[in-house]
Chains A and B, each alone.
Chain A
């Protein structure tokens, strides 16, 4: 079974600075997707970024980018020019793409605090 580990329960960053959230995963599959979701105090789960495992190029969405290291099974999220609205729980998630279940497997989350 696949597992996702987020080793940083909490992180903090100064406004306008850059922060990197870590995620590692365990799988024997070669074809899958990885996601970062943001959960602000409203509790809504918001998609931040998506990475297909077969794509070597790291995904980028505005101030958010990932460092995908397939061999190391690492998928970190970099937030540049941090804003107060980035404060939230961030969840890393894995989804198989080799048939069978399409469920998301989540890590425990990292709580990000942005200091003014």
Chain B
């Protein structure tokens, strides 16, 4: 158990819908990272937050957004969902040195 929690574990929804994925980092970790794992794209970095502020952006679609709250949990919002958004979404967190990322169990999203 990495100490990073993600909810829900599974999510099934329809095209055009909007969903919110939630992540709680390890106790004391200030940085949160979101990754998408799909069969065709592999593991791709989406976005990073540090202590509530956006720090880096990767290949995140405009339909996707994220935020980190004062209690350091983070949410990834996916809207106008398409079939191709079906994937496993991971959250990871790091301690003060921000060297090693510890991953949550992931949220498996299926868009029908």
* Distance between B95 CB and nearest chain A CB, rounded to angstroms: 12
Interface string of A87-114 (1 = CB under 8 A from B): 0000100010100111111111100000
Q: Looking at the complex, which one of A43, A45, A100, A102 makes contact with B108 (CB distance below 8 Å)? A: A43
Task: Report the count of interface residues on B (CB-CB < 8 A).
Answer: 25
* Distance between A104 CB and nearest chain B CB, rounded to angstroms: 6
A44 touches B103 (CB 8 A): yes
| A35 close to chain B: CB less than 8 A | yes
| B68 close to chain A: CB less than 8 A | no
Residue of B nearest to A37 (CB): B103
Task: Report the count of interface residues on A (CB-CB < 8 A).
Answer: 23
* Distance between B79 CB and nearest chain A CB, rounded to angstroms: 23
Which chain B residues lie closer than 8 Å to A64 at the CB level? none
Which chain B residues lie closer than 8 Å to A42 at the CB level? 105
Q: Looking at the complex, which one of B33, B55, B56, B100 makes contact with A47 (CB distance below 8 Å)? A: B100
Pairs of residues from A and B, 5 with the lowest C-beta to C-beta distance, nearest first: A45-B103, A103-B45, A106-B43, A101-B56, A44-B105
Q: Which residues of A contact B (CB under 8 A)?
A: 33, 35, 37, 42-47, 50, 91, 95, 97, 100-109
